[in-house]
């Protein structure tokens, strides 16, 4: 009898790439909030979501993860990863939500946890400026004038880079954010004749609990999205940049809301 | 209207991590054929397969891939990857087949193509000796006495290493092999209360076409599988090593056979 | 006229792998202080240093670096790296110092900066637990009971792993440390007949300035050094572990002291 | 008594990053021969070389290496690497030679072997199309019409990409090539006041022996060199592309010729 929340499923069930939830996360987020072309944003909406605004955001996050009592952070190659998430604002039942067109991580475990939540994850390389607690020319301050950078690359091409200059604390998170995030869970068929009839195709809403936030720093931002020979990411390039943010967050995931079967 | 065989699904459908089949592959394979403990092999069989023999094999493969006319190999970071596949022999309807308990690749695109076929893929680092066409102390010959090595690592721990010494040509492939390979397609649920009720859980048989093989070299082999703090791979360590092999293969995949819904 | 502190030297001098000093660093250090076999420690001393004690330490550090005004941390793939440093205690002119038998980094720029200082750098993979400022099962606290791990791998084999449990603040740094660090600068000859007559072979003492330290946390530690087929690192494995430490440091390097030409 | 051709130098001398020569190499080379702006080429010449022509070449090579009897290729993470080499033609004593302004490898051992020879190596990511011996849409043929690609990236930015289409066999290697290659060995000082007075600064000529070449395929080529925020590589971008090549080579290195001390 094979056991495990994900493959590989094994006799003892210890070898799953992702163990069963709850999944606990802590991360430092660097965010650029911006507006893209309305037509581009509208063209990315899945069935069930309506156009709401041209608002987008890109989140660069360094994460650490553990299960309850698992202390996976003690073997950090098992626990740490970097992530770049693009979000667009959308409408659902007359209220705004967020939808993710593109996301990259640099480890396999978050990739497969992400697929279970409907994140369209690929493997990419994300770098984010760190803040150290000592004054040095080698680190920005987490405070007025502190400058933080980030970059994203995919298969040896740089896709995006950003710089955020902190100005002041704020109470408001960037928009769009993860408070009401809607994804599409998708798992394809390979049987001939069914390549366009996925086995799983569902509109879902993310759930998280025990969300905690540090003070939120806000400021100015620059963001460049580079052309790419086949990725359509540059269609979502910024027409107007509204703000940059930096904050720490922690949360737990062990549930999901099924909104609609799209098959 | 979003398009694409896999996520990310986009307006033009050019950005899917894996484009729609057919998928064409060419690869150099280094193989160690061995026997593990009967009880260990039997413990790994999914519902629908029966115990057949203690025979196992590990395949270390350097692959190059392209779609029909896509020539992805011209941008080789998009096309090349290394793979380590463990196979165990099993019985299905009174005849032998092969089943894959563990597999590692070093790129995201083969990971997601693999999930569609039921391969339990994780990201790992595989290295395989290359053969060059000139005589040199830096390369083995593809012929009697030629020695080839391989290694597999996962999250900064070496899992396995092998050396094969070629002796003679043979007509027979290693056993088990890919001729009748059976996988389990698995996609989990995250909705609370359903963590043990996967959305997809199917016994499937792989299909490939236009399979081509180079001359097959056979010889002696050594294989070490290392202990690991949580992976159960070492339960499949060799009790007896029967042979080593090296050959090149090419094949095309665009179909799959559903054997049984396991839900 | 080609310019640059290191190769590649170019017309504008902007392309050197390492720009000219000053080099400013900030880093988080996780340290295990231990004793190895006396004979092993003594066998690693270069000419000019005498045996002092069996004391050793391994430092796992996540660094960020910038030149004066360069703000390289805004393009962090240029600025960040991880490092594992082994130090042994030695005697020089009747007083203790530290000497580095092995060190690994994960980027090329610190490798070449290190060669200029006599660090015997190789490329390796270091992972270190991060601390986040929010309470979460995904992060240790920087305080009593906080547990931090680290690992080092080299060419797909794990070389060392450690866990430190913080207990209390201390005023004292680990011993050995970087306060009086002595290296050997070495640059080989390739001209036939001179392979054992290096072009540069010097005993040097490191200099740093503007050193800053955060509060220093001290506690218990575990450290495993694994066997390796050709690296002699395991000769320095711990016979007794004395303490673990965690702290942040910042410093600037732009000078070096030549102690003795060893040619 | 510490031993070893390079650091780390150890009691048994088994741990040097690069063991003592001879070093034996076998590699598959994909080459684009082109002309850059005369002024750009001239500006890259070190003291001792004169301007000769605008001819340049970029070599993308997958290498495997071993010492005499070392069989390092059996543990291939120790032996294999990818390399991108830019060469410009120069004059020395009234005859043409080649000089290397930029070179990237993806392992530490070839980096340090390269420094001993004066190659200005950095760590970069090189990908090169492979040829398999079976007909497949996943591989080019080594023959008329066969198309091979390559790419180079450095710190998450793509620097160059190329495609070569084979047309016919030739007897002539690309120009410039390695037959008369001149490098600058350089090792900096860090002692204050000596940052511009390197400890080693020598014009050297490479020596290799037992050079073997496969049949040489020649054809058409495309080459793009991308802009970069600080690397000056794009100054050497192609004004005219003359040919592309593919061949295998093997050689042994254990000597070097000192031409001139540049200090």
Output the pLDDT for position B29: 98
Which residue from C211, C188, C162 is spatially nearest to C30, judged by alpha carbons? C162
C 121-180: CB under 8 A from B: 125, 127, 151, 153, 156-158
CB pairs < 8 Å spanning A and D: 18
pLDDT tens for B71-82 read 999 999 999 999
Tell me the nearest-neighbour CA distance from D44 into chain B, angstroms: 30
Minimal Cα–Cα distance from D96 to chain B, Å? 28
Beta-carbon count within 10 A of B171 CB: 8
Q: What is the structure's pLDDT at B14?
A: 97
User: φ, ψ for residue C210 (rounded to 5)?
Assistant: 55, 40
Q: What is the mean pLDDT of residues A6-26?
A: 98
Chain A residue with Cα closest to D226 = A157
Percentage of chain C surpassing pLDDT 70? 100
Kindly determine whether residue B132 and residue D64, on different chains, have CB atoms separated by under 8 Å.
yes
The predicted model gives D81-99 an average pLDDT of 98
Instruction: Give the residue among B253, B251, B212 at the shortest CA–CA distance from B21.
Output: B253
What would the pLDDT profile of C144-178 be if each residue is shown by its tens digit? Answer: 999 999 999 999 999 999 999 999 999 999 999 99
The SS3 assignment for D42 reads helix
Size of interface B-D (CB pairs under 8 A): 142
Tell me which residues of chain B, numbers 103 to 122, contact chain A at a CB-CB cutoff of 8 Å: 103, 107-108, 111, 115-117, 120-122
Between B242 and D1, the higher pLDDT residue: B242
Chain B residues closer than 8 Å to C151 by CB: 156
pLDDT of residue B86: 98
Q: Given the structure tokens 């040489």, which residue do they identify?
A: D216
DSSP assignment string, A166-195: EEEEESPPPSS-STTEEEEEEE---STT-T
Considering only the beta carbons, identify the residue of C28, C64, C136 that sits closest to A138: C64
Percent of chain C with pLDDT over 90: 100
Q: What confidence tens digit (pLDDT) does each residue in A215-257 have?
A: 999 999 999 999 999 999 999 999 999 999 999 999 999 999 9
pLDDT for B21 equals 98
Tell me what pLDDT residue C235 has.
Answer: 98
- Average model confidence (pLDDT) across chain C: 98
**Subunit contact A134:C252, Cβ cutoff 8 A:** no
- Say if the Cβ atoms of C186 and D156 lie within 8 Å: no
Contacts of C5 in chain D (CB under 8 A): 188, 195
Q: Spell out which residues of chain C touch residue B127, defining contact as CB-CB under 8 Å.
A: 156
Nearest neighbour of A151 by CB, restricted to D153, D156, D158: D156
- Residue B161's closest chain D neighbor by CA? D75
Task: Output the pLDDT for position A123.
Answer: 98
Show the low-confidence residues of chain B (pLDDT under 70). Answer: none
Q: Does D231 touch chain A (CB under 8 A)?
A: no
Q: Is the pTM of this model over 0.90?
A: yes
User: What is the model's pLDDT at position A127?
Assistant: 98
Separation in Å, CA of D162 to nearest CA in chain A: 14
Chain B interface disruption, residue of A190, A191, A208, A227, most B CBs within 10 A:
A190
Dist CA A167 CA A245 (whole Å): 9
Give the integer Cα–Cα distance in Å for C44 and D13. 11
Query: To the nearest whole number, what is the mean pLDDT of chain D?
Result: 98
Q: Using the beta-carbon criterion (under 8 Å), do B153 and C153 form an inter-chain contact?
A: yes
pLDDT of residue B224: 98
Q: How far apart are CA A157 and CA A154, in angstroms?
A: 5
- Chain C hits for B151, Cβ within 8 Å: 156
Chain A, window 200-219: residues with a beta carbon less than 8 angstroms from a chain B beta carbon: 200
How far is B68 from chain C, CA to nearest CA, in Å?
A: 35
Nearest CA in chain C to B126: C156
Specify the pairing of strand B95-105 against strand B121-123: parallel
Instruction: Determine the residue of chain A that is closest to D126 in CA distance.
Output: A156
The architecture (CATH level 2) of C25-180+208-256 comes to: Beta Barrel (2.40)
- pLDDT, residue B155, reads 98
Domain spans of chain C, in order of start: 25-180+208-256
Percent of chain D with pLDDT over 70: 100
Q: Give the 3-state secondary structure of residue A158.
A: strand
- What is the total residue count of chain A? 263
CA closest to A210 among chain C residues: C136
CB-nearest partner of D188 from C6, C190, C254: C6
Query: Which of these, B110, B47, B46, B41, lies nearest to B78 by C-alpha position?
Result: B110
Residue C133, min C-alpha distance to chain D (Å): 29
Cα separation, B225 vs B213, in Å, equals 28
Rounded distance between C-alpha atoms, residue A11 and residue A2, angstroms: 5
Mark yes or no for CB contact B184/A9 under 8 Å: yes
Give the separation between CA D250 and CA C118, rounded to whole angstroms.
33
Residue B72: DSSP 8-state: G
Q: How is chain C split among helix, strand and coil, in percent rounded to 5?
A: 10, 50, 40
Q: To the nearest whole angstrom, how far is the Cα of C4 from the nearest Cα of chain D? A: 8
Which residues between 63 and 92 in chain C have a beta carbon less than 8 angstroms from any beta carbon of chain A? Answer: 64-69, 71, 73-77, 79-80
For residue A235, give how far its alpha carbon lies from the nearest alpha carbon of chain C (Å). 24
Spatial separation of the C-alpha atoms in residues D175 and D162, rounded to whole Å: 17
The CB-side HSE value for D195 (13 A sphere, CA atoms) comes to 15
Of B191, B231, B232, the CB nearest to A256: B191
Neighbours of chain D (3+ CB pairs under 8 A): A, B, C
Instruction: Tell whether A224 lies on the interface with B, counting CB pairs under 8 A.
Output: no
pLDDT for position D130: 98
- Nearest by CB to C108, which of D123, D232, D254? D123
- Measured CA to CA, the distance from residue C182 to residue C259 in angstroms comes to 9
* Cβ partners under 8 Å of residue A250, min gap 6: A24, A25, A26, A27, A210, A211, A212, C132, C134, C135, C136, C138, C139
Give the separation between CA B189 and CA B121, rounded to whole angstroms. 18
Please, are residues C78 and C72 in contact by the beta-carbon 8 Å criterion? Answer: yes
Check residue A66 and give its pLDDT.
98
* Model confidence band, residue C56 (pLDDT cutoffs 50, 70, 90): very high
pLDDT of residue B222: 98
pLDDT digit string (tens) for D27-81? 999 999 999 999 999 999 999 999 999 999 999 999 999 999 999 999 999 999 9
Give B21's contacts in chain A (Cβ within 8 Å). Answer: 190, 195
Q: What is the mean pLDDT of residues C127-146?
A: 98
Those of residues 31-50 in D touching chain C at CB distance below 8 A are 43-44, 46
Of C80, C163, C252, the CB nearest to A130: C80
CA-based nearest distance A253→chain D, Å: 31
Computed over its alpha carbons, how large is the radius of gyration of chain A? 19
Tell me the pLDDT tens digit for each residue of C177-187.
999 999 999 99
Q: Could you tell me which chain C residue has the CA closest to the CA of A146?
A: C74
Shortest Cα distance, chain A CAs vs residue B259, angstroms: 11
pLDDT value for C147: 98
Mean pLDDT, chain B, integer: 98
Distance from the Cα of D155 to chain B's closest Cα (Å) equals 15
Tokens of B165: 């010494």
Q: Which residues from chain A sit within 8 angstroms of residue B10, using beta carbons?
A: 44, 101, 232
Please tell me the distance in Å from C167's CA to the nearest CA on chain A.
17
To probe the interface with C, which of A64, A74, A165, A213 has the most C CB atoms within 10 Å? A74
Centre a 10 Å sphere on the Cβ of residue D23 and count the other Cβ atoms it contains: 26
From chain D, pick out residues whose CB is under 8 angstroms from the CB of A151.
156
Q: Give the model's pLDDT for residue C225.
A: 98
In angstroms, rounded to a whole number, what is the distance separating the alpha carbons of residues D149 and D152?
Answer: 11
Cβ of A108 within 8 Å of Cβ of B107? The answer is no
Residue D76: phi and psi, rounded to 5, are: -65, -20
What letter would DSSP give residue A111?
A: H
ipTM of the complex: 0.97
Phi, psi of C6, deg, nearest 5? -130, 170
Count of positions (residues) in chain B: 263
Nearest-CA distance A59 → chain D (Å): 18
Structure tokens at C59: 């430092």
Nearest alpha carbon to residue B222 among B247, B241, B246: B241
When pLDDT is cut at 50, 70 and 90, the band that residue C62 belongs to is very high
* Cβ pair B151:C153 closer than 8 A: no
A62 interaction partners in chain C (CB closer than 8 Å): 130
Asked whether the beta carbons of residue B127 and residue C158 sit closer than 8 angstroms, the reply is: no
> Facing residues of C26 across strands?
C64, C250
Q: How far apart are CA D63 and CA D79, in angstroms?
A: 8
């Amino acid at each position: 009898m094979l056991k495990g929340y994900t493959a590989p499923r094994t006799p003892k069930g210890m070898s799953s790439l992702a163990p069963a939830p709850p999944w606990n996360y802590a991360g430092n987020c660097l965010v650029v909030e911006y507006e893209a072309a309305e037509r581009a944003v509208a063209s990315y909406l899945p069935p069930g979501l309506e156009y709401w605004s041209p608002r987008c955001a890109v989140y660069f996050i360094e994460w650490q993860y553990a299960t309850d009592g698992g202390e996976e952070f003690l073997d950090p190659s098992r626990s740490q990863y970097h992530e770049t998430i693009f979000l667009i604002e959308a409408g659902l039942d007359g209220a705004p939500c967020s939808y993710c067109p593109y996301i990259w991580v640099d480890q396999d475990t978050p990739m497969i946890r992400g697929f279970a939540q409907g994140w369209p994850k690929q493997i990419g390389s994300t770098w984010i400026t760190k803040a150290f607690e000592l004054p040095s020319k080698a680190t920005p301050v987490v405070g007025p004038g502190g400058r933080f950078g980030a970059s994203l690359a995919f298969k040896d091409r740089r896709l995006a880079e950003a710089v955020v200059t902190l100005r002041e604390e704020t109470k408001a998170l960037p928009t769009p954010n993860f408070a009401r995030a809607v994804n599409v869970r998708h798992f394809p068929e390979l049987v001939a004749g069914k390549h366009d009839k996925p086995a799983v195709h569902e509109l879902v809403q993310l759930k998280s609990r025990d969300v905690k936030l540090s003070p939120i720093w806000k400021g100015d931002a620059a963001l460049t999205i580079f052309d790419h020979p086949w990725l359509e990411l540059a269609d979502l390039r910024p027409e107007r940049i509204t703000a940059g943010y930096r904050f720490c967050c922690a949360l737990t995931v062990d549930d999901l809301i099924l909104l609609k079967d799209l098959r």
